[in-house]
Amino acid sequence: MTDCLDTTFAALADPTRRAILAMLLEDDMAVTDVAAPFRMSLAAISKHLAILAEAGLISQEKRGRINWCKLEPDAMRNASVWMQGFGQFEPVDLDAFERFLEAEMHDSLTSE
C-alpha cells in the first residue's frame, strides 16, 4: 500500500496535475482539450497525464484517432483511508475537493 500512496501523493504534488484533475471532474476530455489551457507542449502534458495514469487517478482510452482522459475518483480511496487513520482528517468531501482543485487550477493558470 505504501508504494501506491507514494505514487498517488507524488502525482498530486504537482499543480499542473491537480489542475488537470479538476478539469476532468467535469467530464472526460480529449488530450488536446486537456492541454489547451496550459502554456506547455503537448508532449509535456502527455508526461503529466502518464504520471496521473500510473497513479491510477485517470485512465486513457483511444476512441478513433483521439485519446480521451477520464477521472478515476476511486483511486483516491487509499489516500483518503490513510489520512483518516490520523484522526485529524474528515472523510474526503468530493465537493470540497472539487472546489480545491478548481482554485488550484485557477491559481496555476493565472500565475503562468
User: pLDDT tens digits, residue range 46-78?
Assistant: 999 999 999 999 999 999 999 999 999 888 888
Statement: residue 27 has pLDDT above 80:
yes
Statement: residue 11 has pLDDT above 90:
yes
pLDDT confidence tier of residue 41, bands split at 50, 70 and 90: very high
Determine the residue type at 17.
R
30: domain range?
A: 2-110
Q: What is the total count of domains within the chain? A: 1
**Helix extents (H) in the chain:** 2-12, 15-26, 31-35, 42-54, 77-84, 94-110
Looking up residue 96, the CATH number of its domain turns out to be: 1.10.10.10
